[in-house]
């Protein structure tokens, strides 16, 4: 028989109607199976991707997150990612580059303290900023762990001085921070050791640090 004379085969009407019915039954069966499984059983059927925690953040805060500690350089729009830990000197170091200015940020891990938490985790620590100049500018930084991006960031910083020498950082009974350090007298050269003793008290107000007078 010639192919030109072959008639097109027409599916019976009941079979055409049966196709969407079968598809609907498959979807319903899959839905019922899903709701009979617990979340733990579902997760067990799929290999979970293990998160490699940032060692510095975990060491400082006990929080497991892949994101590094992030410092917004004061009086700049540059960010420094704290990537190097010096265990011998108990410091964390990161580099920044804003284009016009570049330098390093040092967070003094031995003075890292956790504050009383509300809905977030808060921390304080002194840090030093150095650039192409001779100064080492010290600040007291306020840090927050934000669970949404899973990142520890610095939200505020209070300037302490240039080339100071840190002494002690403690928390008081009223949840404020007491910081003592030594700075240079007005008639002292910066090449000399700072001798003037300074004691300052700070408190957290929302995401800011306030110097208590």
33 and 93 assigned to the same domain? no
Q: Does any domain span residue 5?
A: no
Number of structural domains the chain divides into: 2
Q: Are residues 22 and 94 in the same domain?
A: no
Question: Do residues 28 and 77 both lie within one domain?
Answer: no
Please state, in angstroms and rounded to a whole number, the distance separating the CA atoms of residues 10 and 121.
Answer: 69
Do 88 and 190 share a domain, yes or no?
Answer: yes
Q: Are 152 and 145 in contact (CB under 8 A)?
A: yes
25 and 118 assigned to the same domain: no
> Is the same domain home to 77 and 132?
yes
Q: Is residue 110 part of a domain?
A: yes
pLDDT tens string 54-104:
999 999 999 999 999 999 998 888 999 999 999 999 999 999 998 878 899
The CA-atom distances, in angstroms, between 25 and each of 15, 21, 32, 33, 89 are 15, 6, 11, 12, 67
Return the number of other C-beta atoms located less than 10 Å from residue 82's C-beta.
Answer: 25
Q: Sorting pLDDT into bands at 50, 70 and 90, what band is 1?
A: very low
The C-alpha angle 166, 171, 172, rounded to 5 degrees, equals: 125
96 and 183, same domain (yes or no): yes
Asked if the structure places residue 6 within a domain, the reply is no
Chain segment 120-151, per-residue pLDDT in tens: 899 999 999 998 777 889 999 999 998 888 89
**Domain-embedded: residue 50:** no
Please give the residue range of the domain that contains residue 36: 11-44
């Amino acid at each position: 028989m010639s192919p030109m004379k072959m008639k097109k085969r027409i599916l019976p009407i009941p079979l055409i109607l049966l196709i969407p019915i079968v598809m609907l039954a498959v979807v319903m069966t899959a839905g019922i199976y899903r709701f009979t499984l617990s979340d733990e059983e579902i997760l067990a059927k799929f290999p979970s991707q293990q998160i490699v925690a940032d060692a510095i953040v975990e060491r400082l805060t006990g929080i497991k997150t892949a994101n590094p500690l992030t410092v917004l350089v004061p009086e700049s729009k540059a960010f420094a990612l704290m990537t190097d830990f010096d265990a011998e000197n108990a410091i964390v170091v990161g580099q920044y580059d804003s284009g016009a200015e570049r330098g390093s940020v040092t967070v003094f891990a031995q003075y890292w303290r956790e504050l009383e938490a509300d809905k977030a985790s808060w921390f304080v620590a002194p840090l030093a900023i150095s650039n192409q100049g001779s100064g080492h500018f010290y600040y007291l930084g306020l840090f927050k762990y934000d669970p949404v991006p899973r990142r520890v960031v610095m939200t505020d910083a209070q300037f302490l001085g240039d080339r100071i020498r840190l002494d002690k950082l403690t928390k008081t009974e009223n949840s404020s921070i007491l910081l003592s350090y030594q700075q240079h007298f007005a008639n002292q050269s910066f090449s000399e050791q700072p001798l003037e003793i300074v004691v300052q008290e700070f408190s957290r107000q929302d995401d800011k640090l306030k110097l208590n007078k």
